[in-house]
Amino acid sequence: MARPEDTQEIRQDRTMQLPRIVAARSTRRVLIGLLGGALVLLGIILIPLPGPGSVLILLGLTVLGWEYRWAKRLLFKAKWQLKRLRSRRTKKTS
């Protein structure tokens, strides 16, 4: 059975690690936000130019969706719209 001193030491160790865990999560969130935002921005820039603009936007939303719920919802809506457009295209060609 654990002695009271051991239990206190374990609690102190956990509280010492907490700021590191919070900092790691914050750093991860910022990096995901920067990477996803950069991909979305680059995709928006490439829409009028020849290049994979829409693919980069979807990729950026996917990266942002790892951390942000609003990005997941937006990605879901974008995928739904793409499926809808594809089905319209196939109906017109038939």
Task: Kindly calculate the radius of gyration of the chain based on its CA atoms and give it in whole angstroms.
Answer: 23
DSSP class of 40: H
Q: What is the pTM of this model?
A: 0.66
Residue type at 10 in one-letter notation: I
Please state the rounded mean pLDDT for residues 9-16. Answer: 62
Whole-angstrom distance between the N-terminal and C-terminal Cα of the chain?
75
The more confidently predicted of residues 70 and 51 is 70
Q: What is the 3-state secondary structure (H, E, C) of 42-80?
A: HHHHHCCCCCCHHHHHHHHHHHHHCCCHHHHHHHHHHHH
Percent of the chain with pLDDT over 70: 78
User: Residue 64: pLDDT above 60?
Assistant: yes
Please state the rounded mean pLDDT for residues 55-77. Answer: 91
User: Residue 82: pLDDT above 80?
Assistant: yes
